[in-house]
Chain A
C-alpha cells in the first residue's frame, strides 16, 4: 500500500529480462538505416542469439501492421523498421522514393539479369539483351541497386556486377532465393525451337 497507485502495472513488463532485450532491439533498429541481422543485434545488445530471437518475436508482435505506425519486417537478411502501409500516402507527401522512381524497361531487364546471373559483366548483359548495357548499368549503380563485384578471372577481366542489399530492400526480398525460379518464367526453349522449326519447314515446302 506504500507504493503509488498505477493504472497499468508495468512491473511485469519492466521486470521481464526478455522485454529489456526487446527494448534494446527497438532502440538499435530505430537508429539503424539498414537491416540488422540477428547476429548484429545480439552483438550490439551483448546477449545470446536465442534470447534475441525470442525478443524479436515480442518486437514483431508490438510493431505489426494495424497495431503500430512502425512495422518490423524481415528483409535483406536482417530486420528493419519501416512505416506501416496505412501511412504510405502520408509518407508519399513528404518523402520521395528516388531509388525506384522511373525505372525503365531496359533497367528492369538489366536488373533481372544481374539479380539472376550475377556476378555478371556488362558484355554478358549486352549479349543477352542484344544491346550495349553500359549506360543502363551505370544508372543502376548510381541508384545503388547494383554494385561492382570484382572482375572476371582472365587477365584484364571485365568488371562484374551484382545486386545490392538495397535491391533486396526495395523489392521487399529477404534473400535472392525468393526470386521466382527462372524455369517458371517464360516459354521453354523447346517450345520456341519447335515454333522455329515449324516456320522453317513451312518455308522449305
Chain B
C-alpha cells in the first residue's frame, strides 16, 4: 500500500512521499486531487488477487487524515490570514491579487477581440474538418409507445424446458410381470432376443428385473461366454409352484 505510485497534476511519486511532503508543508494539500489518489488505490487493488484488509484500513486512515488537512486549509479560520497583516498590508496584498486577475481578464478580452478579427482567416490544419451536416430530427414521439416497447422488454423470458433431457425409467415391475408371463409359456428364453429393439434405458431396467428374478430364485441364468446371449430358465422350485398352482 505504501508503494502506491501516483501520477497527479500536483505530484508524481509514491504515496508515502506525498504524505511526507504534506506533513513537512512542502506540498500544498489544496493542490492535491484526493479523488485521483483514491482511484489510483482502487486500481492498485484491482491488480491484486487477494485484498489486504490491513492495507485497506491503513489507506482509509491516511486518506481521511489527508482530507482533513486539505479541508482545514481550504476553509481557514475566518480572517486568520488577513488578521496577521496590518490593514495597509492587507489592502496591498488584496490589490496585488485583484490587479493580477484584472490584467488577465483584460488579456482575455484582447484575445477574444483578436479572435473576432481573425475569424476570416482559414488555413489548413491537418485534414480540414468538414462542416457539420444538418442533424436529422426525429418526428415527435409518443411516450406511451416508448413505455409499451420497454414493457415488452421488461417481461421475464419464458423458462427454458429441460424435460427432453430427463431419463425416464420404466418400472422394474413391468418387466418382472413380462418375464414371468414368458416363463409361463416357455421354460427357457433368450434375454437378448426378448429385449431386442428396446431403448437402452429399458434394456437396463429389464436386466435389473432379471437380476431380481434371479435373487428370488425364480430363474436360473446361464451364459456360455462373456457377452454371449443370456439364457433364462425356470428353476425347479418355480416349476413345482407352477405345478401346484396349475393342479389346484
Bound complex: CA A112 to CA B111 (Å)? 7
Pair B99/A187 contact, Cβ less than 8 Å:
yes
Specify which of A99, A158, A182 is in contact with B103 (CB 8 Å cutoff).
A182
Which residues of the other chain, B, contact A180 by a CB distance below 8 angstroms? 107, 110
Is B57 among interface residues, defined by CB-CB distance under 8 A? no
Using Cβ atoms and an 8 Å threshold, which residues of chain A touch B12? 151, 156-157
A81, A94, A129, A157: the one within 8 Å of B130 (CB): A94
**Of A83, A92, A171, A187, which is within 8 A of B123 by CB?**
A83
Which residues from B are CB-within-8-Å of A108? 108-109, 111-112
Q: Which A residues, 107 to 123, have Cβ-Cβ distances below 8 Å to chain B? A: 108-109, 111-113, 115-116, 121-123
Query: How long is the Cα–Cα vector from A135 to B9 in the complex, in angstroms?
Result: 12
Over the window 179-191 of chain A, the binary record of Cβ atoms lying under 8 Å from chain B Cβ atoms (1 yes, 0 no) is 1101001111110
Least Cβ–Cβ distance between A24 and chain B, in angstroms? 19
A200 to B161, CA, bound (A): 86
Which chain A residues lie closer than 8 Å to B91 at the CB level? 193, 196-197, 200
Q: Within the assembled complex, what's the spacing in Å between the Cα atoms of A200 and B152?
A: 71
Q: Are A197 and B88 in contact (CB under 8 A)?
A: yes
Dominant secondary structure of chain B at its interface with chain A: helix
Q: Give the interface size class of chain B.
A: 35 or more
Distance in angstroms between the alpha carbons of A100 and B125 in the assembled complex: 13
Chain B residues near A196: list those with CB within 8 A.
91, 94-95
| Least CB distance, B7 to chain A, in whole angstroms | 9
Kindly list chain A residues whose C-beta atoms are within 8 Å of the C-beta of B33.
134
Contact of A82 among B11, B106, B107, B122 (CB under 8 A): B122
- Verify if B222 is at the interface (C-beta below 8 Å from A): no
CB of A6 within 8 Å of the partner chain = no
Find chain A residues with CB under 8 A from B199 CB. Answer: none
Count residues of A near B (Cβ-Cβ below 8 Å): 63
Q: Which residue of B lies closest to A178 (CB)?
A: B114
B88-129 Cβ-contact flags toward A at 8 Å (1 or 0) = 100110111011111111111111101101111111111011
Known contacts A95-B122, A134-B9; is-contact A111 B111 (Cβ 8 Å):
yes
By a CB distance below 8 angstroms, the chain B residues around A121 are: 9-10
Query: A101 vs B242: C-alpha distance in the bound complex, in angstroms?
Result: 108
**Contact of A185 with B106 at beta-carbon distance under 8 Å, contacts A85-B121, A172-B114 already known:** yes
- Does A33 reach chain B (CB closer than 8 Å)? yes
Which residues of B are in contact with A by a Cβ distance under 8 Å?
Answer: 9-13, 17-18, 21, 26-28, 30-31, 33, 87-88, 91-92, 94-96, 98-112, 114-115, 117-126, 128-132
**5 A-B interface contacts by CB (under 8 A):** A98-B129, A108-B111, A112-B105, A157-B12, A172-B121
